Every structure is written in C-alpha cells, then in structure tokens.
Structure 1
Amino acid sequence: MSNNSVTRQQIEQIYRAQSRRVLATLIRLLNDFSLAEECLQEAFIAALDQWPRSGLPDHPAAWLISTGHRRGIDHIRRQQTARRHAPWLTSEEALAFDPDDAAIEDDLLRLLFTCCHPALATQTRVALTLREMCGLSTEQIARALLQQPATLAQRLVRAKRKIRDANIPYRVPDSDELPQRLPDVLRVIYLVFNEGYSRSEGEQVQDVSLAGEAIRLADSLAALLPQGEVFGLLALMLLQHSRRDARQDATGELLTLEQQDRRLWHRDEIDQGMAWLTRALPLTPVGPYTLQASIAAEHATAPSASQTNWKRIVALYDALYRQQPSAVIALNRAVAIAMRDSPAAGLQELDRLNVRAVINFHLYHAARADLLRRTGDIDGARQAYQRALSLATQEPERRFLARQLEHLEAPDDRSSE
C-alpha cells in the first residue's frame, strides 16, 4: 500500500472509475446481482474507513473486489440456505480471488451481455444496462425513461430474479453465437443514446447526460470487443452528439440541420467520430451502424448545409435500406432524394411508402409538409403540419410545428426550414 494519505475525493474518483468493473466481478463471484450491489457499497465504505489511514492499495480494484467478495461470503454463510444459494461454495474457494486485469475486463463484457440478454424485454434491457453498467440510480433511470421510480424498481427486481431463476448464463457468447447476440447489445446502447436525444414525451427533448453514458458504454465495448459495428456505432453517436449545442436556440426551440450554427459543433468529437469510422469501414461486411455513421459524417464534414453531398447520402441510404428496409429509413431516404433532386421528387418517394407504416408517425407528416411548402402547395402543407402537430408528443417539437404553421400564414417571414 502507498503511504500517501488518501482523501475522500480520491476514493470517490476511484468509485466513478472502477465501480462498474468491481460490480461485474462481484456478480460473477457471488452469483447474485442484489448481493453484489450491496457488497460493492460495503467495500467502498470500508475503503473510506481504511484507506485514509493505511494508504491507497497498489491495486484498488482488486482490494475492493476481495473486500466485497469476503463480505458477500459472510452474508451467504449467515443464511441457513447458503448451500441452496451457492452450492459451489467451500471455505477455500470462497476466499480465492486472483486480481487479474484481463479477467476483470471480461467481467464487464459478461455483465453487458447479461443485461442485454434477449430473454429480457427491450425496455428492461435498457433500464438494467443503465443501472448495472452505467451506475445510474433508480430515480435517475426513472426520470430518464419517464417512469415512476417504484414501477421501475419493481421491473429491475423482476429482471434480476428472471436472470437467476432462468439461469441466464453470465458469460460472453461463444464466437459462433456472437454475431447473433452482438446486435442486441449494440441496439440497447443506441436506445440509451436515443433516449438522450428523442425523449418520448414531455417538455425536454434532450438529456445530454444520458447520451454521454451511451457513448462511454460504447467506448468501453470498443476496447473490450474490437468489432466493426462496435466502431461504427461509436462513430455514429460521437458524430451526432457533436451537434448537441446547436440543436436548440437560446430559448430551447428546436433548430433544423440547415438552421444550426455549425461553429457550435464540437470539432474534437467530430474528429474522434471520423477516426472510429475510418477503423470501421475496412472491416467487412459494413453494417447498418457504420452506414449511418457514414451518413452522419457527410453532414459533419460539409462546410455548409448547401454544400452537403446529397448524392452520396442517397447512395448510403440505398445501401442502408437494403439491409434494414424500415419505414423510418425510407422516410429519411425520401428527404435525401428531395435535397438531391427536388421537393417534387421527394414527395413522389413519400407517396410510395407503405401508408399503414407511417400514417401515425408525426415525422412523416412533418417531412411531407416541408416538401409541400417548398413546392408552393401551402394548403397541402398546412394540412400536413396540422396532422403532424396532432401526433407529436414532445413539447419542443409541438412548438416547432406550430411555428411552421405560423410561417405559412406569413410568407414574408418564412425561412427555408
């Protein structure tokens, strides 16, 4: 141990940096999510008591894991049903722990794949990932996902019970399973990110801290599992996140990509995103996240909205739609065609969409309204904006659509939004 005195602030910094790794290993060693969480807290309480007197351990994470592990064994032994809960337990095995850095990193991957297991519902995967991998409190997650804390707490309890009762394996999938399981993990990370930028309802459309958690999670995954689509997802999120300060004006009103002040974009994050994209592109086959990152890169590197390479963006959307033929991608592709060719061409593409898939999607009607406005069909644009407004739930989006309607009534004030 180091003889230098340790401050509470230093221990809190170690908690922020190491707690998820410590927890992941404790879950493996104790085979119990809730017990591991309790022992994690007990280990850091012990550190707050001992480290200021004895100094910082040479390997703080190993010290915390060993301490938490011993506390967990004590808890189990105090239970009359210890053998039922942990039939593998013997006195010698209980205290054996090898502080191997590679094993601890593997435990992070095990935890991530367990939180994102397909046996759990999608929203449960998101909540469990935020709780266990990002370390957010139940109250923080409930606020981010717009749920009641008590309801969310019960969901997390049920998820952990299901993991235990269904004997969901705490491991990284074998190489032959990984291609099927990895997309689920990436999807959950991207859902976390999108929750930060597309809140489902309410006054605020952005929760930048939540998006930041997703980026940190993807960054850890990229270090632990260097796969092309992991790099692609990280590139995509960094490129999108770089525009956060330009998405709304000083009063909180939404701004379109054309309206954004590109001087507010974070160039360091654009550079990071481009670097990850450069690593992703040679790793074939190129997947949907890498394609979306390539689209985001075209926007991020264009000197201005008018100089955007829409021809390349349409080609990328063509490739993306072949992989994921969804209504949302088709909608974005139609808008890109409108920007490449003409508003009328974009409207033709929108008219080809499956109406059933987009009829209740407010962004479809908003896009259609904008293209109708650009063609001069003010009455048609008005009806489409009114339909979009009736479907939108986010208050900033509703205000944006209402402003567009007002601009239709005052042609002199209109901008090419």
Structure 2
Amino acid sequence: MSTITAELTAGEVRAERRELRRRKRTALLLVVPLLAFIVFAFVAPIASMLYRSVYNPTVVELIPRTISGLAEWKNTELPQPATFTVMAQELRQLAESRQAGILAAAVNRSYPGSSSLINATARKMNRLTEAQLAAEGAAALRQSDPRWNEPELWRSIRQAGRAYTDNNYLTALDLERNAQGQIQWRDSVRIYVQLYSKTLGIAITITLLCIVLGYPLAYYLSQAPRRVASALMILVLLPFWTSFLVRTTSWIALLQTNGVFNSILEALGLIDAPLEMMYTRFATVISMTHILLPFMILPLYSVMRGIDPGYVRAAVSLGSRPWRAFLWVFLPLSLPGLSAGSLLVFIISVGYYITPALLGGTDGQMIANIIAFHMQHSNNWGLAAALGTLLLVLILTLYWVYDRLVGASNIKLG
C-alpha cells in the first residue's frame, strides 16, 4: 500500500513539474514580442551607436596603401617618397570615382583646411597618367601645394585612417593627441564640455521650476474634493491632447519681438522697447517648463492622493503647528512622488531637441541639437555617436548617484 502511495506521489510531482514548465513556456511566448521590440527599438540602436563611436573605416577603405605606408612612419619627419607616390596615385583614383570629397571631409575634421587641399590636389593628379605618377608622383604631390610638406597633415591622415579609434571621444571631451601621442586639451575652440555643462544647467533649472510650480498644484489637487480635483486634472492633462509642435510654436507668438508678452508690457508702460526673449536660454527654459510640468504633477498627485490625511491631523492634535506638521509628516511621505517627477523631468529635458531648436537660438542650444547637427549636416556619425554615448553615460551616472542618495534617505526615514 505504501509503495502504491509513493508511486502516486511521484507521479503527481512529475505532473506538477510538467505543468509548471508548460506555464513558463506560455509566459515566455507572451513576453517574446515585448523582448523583440526592446531589442529592436532600444538595444540594437544603442549597440550600433557604441560601435559607430569607435569604428571609422572610411579613410582606410579609400586610401589603404597610403595608410599602410604610414604605419611605420615617424611623426617628426616626412614620410618616404614611396608614400607620396602612393598617395598621388590613390588621389587620382578617388578623383575618377568622385570620392575625393569623402576623404577630404574625413581628414578635415582633424586638420582644418585640408578639405579644399585634398579636392584640389585630386583634380591635379587626375590630369596625370598612371605612368607619370609612377615615375614622378612624389614630386607632383609636393609641388601641387606646400602643405603636403607638413608632417602635421600626414599625422592627421594617419590618425583619420585608423579603423578603430578613440578620436571621437577625445573630440567630444575637447581633447586631442599631440605629436608625441599624449592627450591634451584642444588648441582650437572648446565647445562640447561647455555644451554638456549648459545642458545640465538648463535641465536642472527646468526641474527646479517644475517642482516650484507643480508641488503646490499637486498638493491642492490632493486636498480638494474629488469632483473639483477631477475637473482640474483635465486642465493638467489638456496639453497632452494638443500637438507637441503646436505647443512649441505657440511660444514663438508669445515671445517674439512683436509678440503677446512684449505688447502687454509696452501697453502697461513697463518697457520702452521690446525685450529680446526669442532665441535665448530663457525661451528654452520657459517653454520646456510649460511642456514638462504635467510630468511633475502626475507622479506627485498620485502619491499625495494616497497619503492618509489623518497623519497630519494627528500631528496637529499633538501640538504641532500646521506648517511643521506639513514639513515633518506630509513632505517626507510625498518624497517618492517628488523624486519620480524630478527624475522624469530631468531625463526628458536633458535629451530634448525640438524646443531648443525652434526657440533656443545659439544661447539656448543643448547637446541634443549638436548631435542632430553632426548626423544631418556634417555627416560625422562617429562624433555624434560618441556625444550620444557620453550623454548616456552621464545620465546613468547621475541616476546611480540619485538612486544611492534616495535609497539612503529612504532607509533613514524607514
């Protein structure tokens, strides 16, 4: 009898295990579309961005023999005459295939002015035959322009010819390598570190303004009767029902020289001449604050609505003043909503593109606008990928610091 019972128990266990495996397979099949979407929409683009930031085979594919000849070249002297000859021959081939401009654009990023030099030299080499270039290609290249006798130009060509390179990250950090290969600050204009600082400053300002404007409103909504709160919440959600582009361009009508704000101020006699508010950092901050304010109010309201009002009443009944009860009871309980709203507004504002592009001008541009410029106009996708990667690392680092601080404060409150 005991043997039969044991066999039945073992059979039930095996059946339960089969059922559990079947449920797991079913759950996995339900999740597969979401995983595929995440891989396609998030993982693949980020991986491609990381790869493009260090992989740049354009130059070595255009002039492979020249790059091979420069591999053993000493930086302090000019390359061997054979390297000059090979360069002249490959420039002629690029001129015939109409690809000299691609090489010129790639080298010009590290050696300004080389774009016109390479294009002009390629046209001159194209006038010579292969036999002439094989016999006197080095002399023809040197005579075409005196800049071909500068070691700095050849260093730039060799540097641009590396398939895997950290040049994009150095440029994104306003750094460069000198003739000895040491990393130093760029001698030319430094713009990217300043842009990162400006982007962070604008994002922090917008986040603080959303806190100042959104916290009192969310508090009022949480304390108001449900019917009143529902009616006011419709006004908070109303911007989501309006086109984002319409909301952005409406600020142009408000902030331009003959816009609504300047007209009102002039009518009231507060100003004698219109204020320059368009294409400034002020225009970027105020318009983005208006657009992102609902993202602060909604998390705050959802948390505040769940706070039991009896806690504050109990503190007041025990002798605490209302404002002290708010600071020591209600405010700590609302910190999860405040943290979520602040993080949401900050991360969205750091990567904003359309609003700064339409309203910011030169002063209100953010790093996302420069990334878009390199992708759409300068076609420097490697630098755009490096800037995007550094922005991603910066946001993840700030999020890690935020999580550590918020986690530590939650432990103390608990």
Q: Given the two structures, how large is their TM-score scaled by the length of structure 1?
A: 0.22
Q: Which has the larger radius of gyration?
A: 2
Relative to its length, the structure with more helix (as a share) is 2
Q: Given the two structures, how large is their TM-score scaled by the length of structure 2?
A: 0.23
